[in-house]
Amino acid sequence: MKRFFGKVRPAEPEVSDAERELFGGPLRYDMGWSQHENARLDLTLASALRSMPALVGATLRMAWKADRRALIAVGISEVGQGVAAAVGLLAVNAVMHALLGSGSAVERLHALLPGLLAIATIAVVNSVLAGWSTSRAGRLEPLVERIATTQYLAAAVSVELEAIDDPDFRRLIDIAQYGPASARRMIGACVAALNSTISLVATAGVLTVLHPALLPMLILIAAPRGWGAMRVAQERYVSVMSWIEHLRASRLIGNLLTERTAAQEVRIHGVGPFLLGRYKHMARSAEAEQERLASSKAVTEWVAAALSGVAMAATYGTMIWLVMSGHMNLAVAGTAVIAVRSGSASLGALVMNINTLHEESLYVRDHGRFLTEAARHAIPKAGDPVPKQVRQVALDRVTYRYPDREAPALDQVTLTLPMGSVTAVVGENGSGKSTLMKILSGLLLPQEGIVRWGDSDITGLERSQVFDRVALLTQDFERWPVTAAMNIRIGRPGHDATPEDLQASVDYAGAGPVVAKLPDGLQSLLARVFRGAIELSGGEWQKIGLARTHWRSSTSSADSVLIVDEPTSALDPEAEIEAFSRIRRLAAPHRAVVLVTHRMSGVRHADRIYVLHRGRLAEHGSHDELMAARGRYAAMFDAQAAQYVPAGTVPRPTAPA
């Protein structure tokens, strides 16, 4: 019994060897997000029915916002169809009475005619109304999907970077993507549910008039089917939720096998057949889950149909008894048979539609929960304006620890970036350089200490204005699949630009020869995503990235910070020397340049060099001061210099003091 009436629980499928080998264990969504938020996913029938009005209300509000006239048209046509169904049953009753009444056959046929005419007219009216409703609902559905998708995307881009890095939040982003399509389907299900409710109310009214005992019997027929459909939907939802990580991993493997970036290793290292084998293993465990669901659905539906059949037999038995005992005449019984049939069909349809609504509403609820969580993690819009002139940006004993890490990535770091200066940040891998850049740019806020723009604490400033003052060029900068011109202009997309306007940035970055090679110059489509697009080499892309940074910097005259993180990793030696001197030239009076690089030759001309070690500031000073101190910096510099000169002419790297 518990199998059928107990709570729906996630199945515990076998873990495939492939999962263990690739991911260290099973990948299952543990519904942690909802539990973590004290909002346990409650899949009982009562809770479904309780939460549904709010979710249906939210979808209808969206539809109202999208096109209220279309929504009103749908409402009117559905109510009209319900009324037509009731009038149709009354006409059937009149036909039955005429058919089974007294008089000759010809007289009875004459008496039949008005009823038959009414039935035909009602059928025509019904089909006109149904067509009207379908066309209006067809307009509403894509509009609602568009609104929900826009809400989803807008929320996703407005959250703090910390939320994007949080695996739980990422999972929520993943599951919420199904919401917009579900909202679209909910419109159709709402319309169908409204239709079947109205026809059911009409039929129930007629049945009650015919005999009061018929209504409860009708409900008894439909109830088991309602329960069955709801149970199947819940099992399917729990399964989708439990397997979402598995699905994501399978998709990831599929993408890796087809992505351009992995194509070389996939072929040369033989990764293709290896991953394909693992993909098949993982697909097999997902198929086993599908099979389990299908069997469970078959059993549930069989039990529901059996219970419904018993109720149907009891109803017809009661009607026979009522006729035999003289409590119901034959014409009424004839109408009742038709009414019970159409009523149980309406009730069945209503149950199916409520079930669809319930299933879709689970995804719409995830979408809603994502919007709420995204709002909670949104970058605040309020704040003081950033003064145009700030003279310097400074970090004062800043500490930052990633949520899932014990050790801080930055520990009590203090540094100053005066406008017009070049500051270099160096340190071993994992020493905290990128984290420092995220703190500087306002993408992360410090847990301890203060970041100051001039005299203002960054936490009190309007963050979008802080972002507006930061230009970023990282080694993994985005290679947008758009034209070369747009790839540069996107550095400040709100600023209109003709190709001529962008020429200064192209020249600055030394990207002239790159653009000259393109078939349509700056109008050429880049990145091999679309047909006819041109792929650039890593170094050529880096020049385009540098032009983008220049365009961003040159379109603002307010004090700003330019952060360049390994900007020359893909450049040839000549281009690298040239790029470092260009970056230095960007340190205009109203700009502070921060340079993160492992290329020690690029940092020696910086005004000030900060050395990070395990998140702490180990030393700082000019190149000459740091070399004289013979600390970590001197050790790193000597280690690189030793690669370029004959052995013996440069002191061998020593351990830091």
Ligand X SMILES: Nc1ncnc2c1ncn2[C@@H]1O[C@H](COP(=O)(O)OP(=O)(O)OP(=O)(O)O)[C@@H](O)[C@H]1O
- Name the site residues for ligand X (rule: CB under 6 A): 165, 402, 404-405, 409, 427, 429-435
Closer CB to ligand X, 492 or 608, in the complex: 608
**Residue whose entry in the numeric block shows the structure tokens 């959250």:** 159
Closer CB to ligand X, 402 or 480, in the complex: 402
Q: Which amino acid is at 441?
A: S
Q: What is the DSSP letter of 620?
A: E
Residue 441 Cβ, how far from ligand X at the closest point, in Å? 13
Residue 553 Cβ, how far from ligand X at the closest point, in Å? 23
Our CA angle for 110, 115, 120, nearest 5°, is 115
Integer Cα distance of 341 and 329 in angstroms: 18
Residue 505 Cβ, how far from ligand X at the closest point, in Å? 27
Closer CB to ligand X, 434 or 556, in the complex: 434
- What tokens were used for 328? 């119901």
**Residues 563 and 596 sit within 8 Å (Cβ to Cβ):** yes
Residue 436 Cβ, how far from ligand X at the closest point, in Å? 7
Closer CB to ligand X, 431 or 553, in the complex: 431
**Of 418, 386, 379, nearest to 593 (Cα)?**
418
**Of 5, 494, 539, nearest to 230 (Cα)?**
5
Residue 454 Cβ, how far from ligand X at the closest point, in Å? 26
Integer Cα distance of 79 and 576 in angstroms: 73
Integer Cα distance of 251 and 26 in angstroms: 15
Sign of the torsion angle spanned by Cα atoms 600, 476, 474, 436:
negative
Closer CB to ligand X, 70 or 636, in the complex: 636
Closer CB to ligand X, 74 or 409, in the complex: 409
Closer CB to ligand X, 362 or 439, in the complex: 439
Q: In sequence order, which ranges of 524-593 are alpha helices (DSSP H)?
A: 538-554, 573-585
Non-local CB neighbours of 507 within 8 Å, separated by 6+ positions = none
Residues across the chain: 657
**Residues 402 and 609 sit within 8 Å (Cβ to Cβ):** no
Residue 471 Cβ, how far from ligand X at the closest point, in Å? 18
Helix (H) or strand (E) holding 174: helix 167-176
Closer CB to ligand X, 146 or 401, in the complex: 401
Closer CB to ligand X, 126 or 542, in the complex: 542
Residue 509, classified by CB atoms within 10 Å of its CB into exposed (0-12), middle (13-18) or buried (19+), is: buried
What is the number of other CB atoms lying within 10 angstroms of the CB of residue 602? 23
- What tokens were used for 482? 């758009």
Residue 244 Cβ, how far from ligand X at the closest point, in Å? 22
Closer CB to ligand X, 235 or 565, in the complex: 565
**Residues 550 and 588 sit within 8 Å (Cβ to Cβ):** no
- What tokens were used for 201? 């109310």
Residue 426 Cβ, how far from ligand X at the closest point, in Å? 9
Residue 472 Cβ, how far from ligand X at the closest point, in Å? 14
Sign of the torsion angle spanned by Cα atoms 515, 518, 522, 525:
negative
Residue 613 Cβ, how far from ligand X at the closest point, in Å? 10
